[in-house]
Structure 1
């Protein structure tokens, strides 16, 4: 059977569904019209969505790493998270927070945390749905829970995560953050909220809403955007202007031809290997420079 042809309109419809409307019936109606039939639409959905069954790049039991689920203090209660670091660690290492997409702390984000840990970091991937009981297995249910979180609460939990890692016996006290999609926006907001943050990387993340908050940023920023991500990219110019006006240190890359979520290799239709590898190399080099 030939692989279905996926158009930009289909990708845009999926993006609207997962980030704006959360109305699956409306999305499937649009996709059916675009695909020509319900059967074609049903075949396309798995290519647009993330596939949690796809094999991890770094196995959970990789002997090069030590990883465990932990609980630590959040702003209003306990936070759950996945902590991972090199098994052959000697001395204290820089720390990196990995903030998940709007699907919560899922297998893909745990895999991303392990990838970063292999580069010589102590990595903590928090579950920002912890105040609501944690990330459920069903991704549609998880997406619906994010509307119950406030940006202030998310940033406060991020600040306590920074503090936890700063004092952790495994780390050198320097903490950076990498966020993807919803987590990219959370990473931008954490840079505003935490004067102790040493570096922030945002992948296709929403920009801080209040221009006056940008003056509070202390950490250098590395901002990755997808060329075909019109929704997120609409805020780039204003963000650049505010960062320039405040004299902040930042670098922006726009990966032409790439889709929103281009780094997520579990989403066949949106993953862009070339853009992902280029952005990843830049991210690791940036973190090593700023956190060593």
Structure 2
């Protein structure tokens, strides 16, 4: 674990996974609403095994959701006992409230750009930088692509562009990945698609039948192994195509 300077007097922790062989580029890996838990570190390690310098920043501890708190909360809201799940809701809303503040959103995007600064300086990255994020991180993948033109490819999983960003500023290709049973995001996908296409963004979406929200998370009860395996291959192919040349 290392740190990146996000702004004057503020640092963000970053989990860094580095390939042992040839470097194909660099990736910013943005966590779910549960924060920088072990699952996201494992995802970063998997990308490093494929040749990418993978940086997974912790941008939720700033809002009070530490990895430990996120892990505990995730276990409560997915508990098999409905009474436990219901009882956890007030705590969930309390913890999530600071992350809804526009001031936090502005800080988070700035923090992510600071992590891009660090990643861009690493040997072998050579300007080949992409972003991938999950849920909360999917939305921030859109936001980072819209505010930092060093991002050359973006893969948001089950996320939507935040209302406050201008998608017209996205200059890189975007592959958005969803589960068909993720009702809220799927119902909004036609509008998101139109918004991006009207802005001239190279946008493609992939929807997996029978899969729900967070289907890629293999520590979750929502995990769909078949959809996750295919999405992983699709993601690697996308980054290989769009981060394939230096400069």
2:98 match: 148
1:108 match: 39
Aligned to 1:244, which of 184, 188, 197? 197
1:123 aligns with 2:54: yes
Q: For residue 132 of structure 1, report the CA deviation from its aligned partner.
A: 4.7
The structure with more radius of gyration = 1
2:121 match: 167
Q: For residue 233 of structure 1, report the CA deviation from its aligned partner.
A: 1.9
Aligned to 1:197, which of 145, 148, 151? 151
Q: Deviations over 1:45-68 (max 9, x none)?
A: xxxxxxxxxxxxxxxxxxxxxxxx
Pairs within 5 Å for 1:1-292? 69-76=1-8, 77-87=10-20, 89-90=21-22, 92-132=23-63, 135-139=66-70, 140=72, 144-149=94-99, 150-210=104-164, 213-268=166-221, 270-292=222-244
Higher relative contact order (CA 8 A, sep 6+): 2
> Any stretches of 5+ residues in structure 1 without a counterpart?
1-68
Query: Equivalents in 2 of 1:127, 1:272: separation in Å?
Result: 25
How many residues are paired up?
220
Query: Equivalents in 1 of 2:64, 2:158: separation in Å?
Result: 27
Q: For residue 100 of structure 1, report the CA deviation from its aligned partner.
A: 0.4
Q: For residue 196 of structure 1, report the CA deviation from its aligned partner.
A: 1.5
Q: Deviations over 1:88-113 (max 9, x none)?
A: x24x5400011000111011100011
Q: Are the equivalent residues in 2 in contact too, given 1:80–1:134 (CA < 8 A)?
A: no
Query: Equivalents in 2 of 1:182, 1:218: separation in Å?
Result: 21
Q: Deviations over 1:235-281 (max 9, x none)?
A: 2111111111122111101111101000011113x111111111110
Q: For residue 208 of structure 1, report the CA deviation from its aligned partner.
A: 2.8
Q: Deviations over 1:187-225 (max 9, x none)?
A: 111111112211110100123315x71111111101001
Query: Equivalents in 1 of 2:55, 2:225: separation in Å?
Result: 25
2:87 match: none
